[in-house]
């Protein structure tokens, strides 16, 4: 069986490189057709095509190909509270959110496309206080399950945990707790890097599905921790 057609082409990365050098409204408006053709439309098609694959991984996550309010992040930056007033993001973000994400801060599957900085992400970035507390409590009470999740051969070969951590033990936890380094985490995310060439290769959508499947034990652990279905 031949691989699935390429989802993205080199023009996506070329557009993002040029946008990084010319991050102005005038330049973007002059090149908006390129953005639509090589970035936005392929990303929305990827989301639509990934939907059936995502449902096989878990029915609890959503591939929403709407141009606004769906799985594709807006390219427009929120500059209201930022010293950097550049109006546009120079990367593409695609988030496959949990179906309960509007009600509770939930884990998800993420794809980040940026020249020389592409990656797959899983988990929960900057969870709110109550969600973080639930994860820490569950982890502390289920250390064997956590170790099994982290030590799974495929997961361990592909993913590294990232994000921010506290310098000291969180309030209420013994600094000598055997899982204290993980209990210090403020983010529960796992990341695997991608080469730009792999993103533009035929069959990438199936490679991405394989990477998401490899992360299932980690995402399932987080779903269990915050009491949402996987």
Beta-sheet strands, E only, within the chain: 92-97, 108-113, 118-124, 160-162, 188-194
Is residue 103's pLDDT more than 70?
no
* pLDDT tens digits, one per residue of 5-52: 899 999 999 999 999 999 999 999 999 999 999 999 999 999 999 999
* Structure token digits, residue 166: 């506290």
69: left (phi over 0), alpha (psi -120 to 50) or beta: left
Predicted TM-score of the model (pTM): 0.93
Q: 93: pLDDT confidence band, cut at 50, 70 and 90?
A: very high
- pLDDT (average), residues 185-212: 97
Is residue 4's pLDDT more than 90?
no
């Amino acid at each position: 069986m031949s691989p699935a057609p390429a989802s993205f082409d080199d023009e996506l990365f070329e557009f993002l490189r040029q946008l990084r050098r010319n991050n102005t409204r005038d330049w973007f408006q002059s090149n908006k057709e390129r953005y639509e053709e090589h970035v936005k439309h392929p990303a929305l098609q990827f989301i639509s095509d990934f939907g059936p694959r995502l449902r096989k991984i878990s029915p609890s996550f959503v591939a929403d190909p709407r141009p606004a309010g769906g799985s594709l992040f807006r390219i427009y930056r929120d500059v209201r509270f930022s010293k950097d007033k550049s109006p546009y993001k120079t990367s593409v973000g695609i988030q496959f959110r949990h179906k309960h994400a509007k009600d509770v801060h939930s884990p998800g599957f993420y794809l980040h496309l940026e020249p020389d900085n592409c990656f797959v992400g899983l988990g929960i970035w900057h969870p709110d206080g109550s969600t973080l507390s639930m994860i820490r409590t569950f982890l502390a009470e289920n250390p064997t399950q956590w170790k099994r999740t982290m030590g799974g051969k495929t997961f361990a070969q592909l993913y590294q945990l990232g994000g921010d951590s506290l310098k000291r033990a969180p309030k209420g936890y013994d600094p000598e707790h055997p899982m204290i380094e993980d209990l210090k985490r403020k983010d529960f995310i796992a990341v695997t890097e991608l080469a730009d060439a792999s993103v533009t290769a035929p069959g990438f959508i199936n490679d991405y599905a394989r990477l998401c499947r490899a992360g299932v034990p980690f995402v399932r652990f987080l779903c269990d921790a915050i009491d949402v279905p996987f």
